[in-house]
Amino acid sequence: MKKVVKFGGSSLANAQQFRKVAEIVQAEEDRRFVIPSAPGKRFPGDTKVTDMLYECYHMAEEGEEFGSMLQSIKARYDDIIKGLELELSLEEEFKKIEAGFKKTIGENYAASRGEYLNGIIMADYLGFAFVDAAEIIFFKEDGSFDSEKTEKVLAARLAKYDRAVIPGFYGSMPDGSIKTFSRGGSDITGSIVAQGVHADVYENWTDVSGFLITDPGIIENPEVIETITYRELRELSYMGATVLHEESIFPVRKEGIPINIRNTNKPEDAGTWIVESTCQKSKYVITGIAGKKGFCAINIEKDMMNSEIGFGRKVLNVFEDNGISFEHVPSGIDTLTVFVHQDEFIDKEQQVVTGIHRLARPDAIDIEADLALIAVVGRGMKSTRGTAGRIFAALAHANINVKMIDQGSSELNIIIGVTNSDFEEAIRAIYNIFVVARL
């Protein structure tokens, strides 16, 4: 068996955490390829190294003295090296970084150095080979990920090593310059490596014991999801669940590789398994609840709208012409509602209203702001009667008015619209009816 293991920033914040990671890697021979993030926060109020690098680089861009800040970053790594009792120096690496900052070589380069340096330390500590991600992960000229070139080069390069450390978060452009993924992109690197080496499992180690049913900031100690499918995770990630970068699903899904979310500080916990499909039934009818605030609804009314061919296309064309993407479009016989992100819409609202009137000739348009969308996701809903009814009953009992409900044909998720002010209470009501009531 072959495992790729990725460790988040909290798992590598200091020497003590590095030791935990080493014990985890060495506990199983199958853990052969390690993807480290940059050092995260050591304690509440601390600063992540990546944020320090961004700040340091911006100082360099502004022509300010940045040497002391760079030394503070170096001190973070020196503390880790000293704590691990390694005969390793990053002096030359920091000289290169300083030179790069002076030349303002690029923000992506600056941000990537956190993972790069952690990778050097991790490889030295484990006795693994170090492979620079810039040499095996590639982007196209337009900045999009070059999967074809990456798959070919990565597979050939890593085939030479039985064990290796590959820094997360970045790759290289055609001209050799560094390009990063979006924040949290080390998850994507781990997934790409898992696909490239044909891993049997991709373990993603973080500071929680798996994927939680809902936001612990709203529900105290929510239950952990034992098994979740790629599709369920995609729905929850899109609606705000943040344990795993949503784009990291695609490479492993292509190969059918399961992901195991684990806790570095509690390695004995089984965590959450993310799989393509499973015959295992969910512990509860629902798998997870996630949501976002900050939407508005544009309600469009027109008599006999349902018989007018092309009406929906005309309306959505207006949003497209104004560079606004839509989230959901529930409709009735004479009504159509478009849900959009309020911050994208607010500056263009009158252009959109005018455009809809000109193209679609509606009877009336009404805009409602400060709305939230909540996704209730679960493969178990398909075979369970009355799920929507239970959701409505729970919300009614909590005196919450439902602004919108939308269910896809797959019956995998139900989207509910409520006001921003009812968001947290709505999630509590749904969690209580499906989870607490079953405990």
pLDDT digits (tens, 9 = 90+) for 131-165: 999 999 999 999 999 999 999 999 999 999 999 99
Are residue 345 and residue 415 in the same domain, yes or no?
Answer: yes
Query: Domain boundary at 245, 275, 305, which?
Result: 275
Are residue 294 and residue 434 in the same domain, yes or no?
Answer: yes
CATH number at residue 338: 3.30.2130.10
Neighbour-count burial for 347-385, b at 16+ CB within 10 Å, e otherwise: ebbeebbebbeebbebeebeebeebbbbbbbbbbbeeee
Q: How many helices (H) and strands (E) does the chain have?
A: 14, 16
Are residue 304 and residue 266 in the same domain, yes or no?
Answer: no
Instruction: Print the domain residue range for 382.
Output: 288-438
Torsion of CA 25, 27, 29, 33, to 10 degrees: -10
In a domain, 281, yes or no: no
In a domain, 77, yes or no: yes
In a domain, 282, yes or no: no
At 222-239, the pLDDT tens digits run: 999 999 998 898 888 888
In a domain, 176, yes or no: yes
pTM assigned to the model: 0.87
CATH number at residue 72: 3.40.1160.10
What DSSP string describes 303-370? TTGGGSTTHHHHHHHHHHHTT--EEE--B-SSEEEEEEEHHHHGGGHHHHHHHHHHHH--SEEEEEEE
Distance CA 247, CA 208 (A): 20
Tokens encoding 350: 């009158």
Are residue 237 and residue 314 in the same domain, yes or no?
Answer: no
Distance CA 185, CA 271 (A): 21
In a domain, 235, yes or no: yes
> What are the helix (H) ranges across 168-256?
186-196, 230-238, 249-255
Residues pairing with 372 in the sheet = 293, 418
Are residue 92 and residue 45 in the same domain, yes or no?
Answer: yes
Question: Do 109 and 100 contact (CB within 8 A), yes or no?
Answer: yes
Under 8 Å CB-to-CB from 151, ≥6 apart: which residues?
A: 195, 196
In a domain, 94, yes or no: yes
Question: Do 206 and 17 contact (CB within 8 A), yes or no?
Answer: no
What is the predicted pLDDT for the residue at 386?
Answer: 85
Q: How many CB atoms lie within 10 A of CB 264?
A: 20
Are residue 164 and residue 27 in the same domain, yes or no?
Answer: yes
Q: What is the mean pLDDT of each run of 10 residues along the chain (439 residues)?
A: 96 98 98 98 96 97 96 98 98 98 97 98 98 98 96 97 97 97 91 97 94 93 93 84 78 93 96 91 90 96 92 96 94 93 96 96 96 94 86 94 82 92 97 87
Are residue 238 and residue 296 in the same domain, yes or no?
Answer: no
Helix (H, G, I), strand (E, B) or coil at 296: strand
What is the predicted pLDDT for the residue at 184?
Answer: 82
Are residue 9 and residue 157 in the same domain, yes or no?
Answer: yes
How many domains, in total, are found in the chain?
A: 2
Question: Do 265 and 358 contact (CB within 8 A), yes or no?
Answer: no
In a domain, 348, yes or no: yes
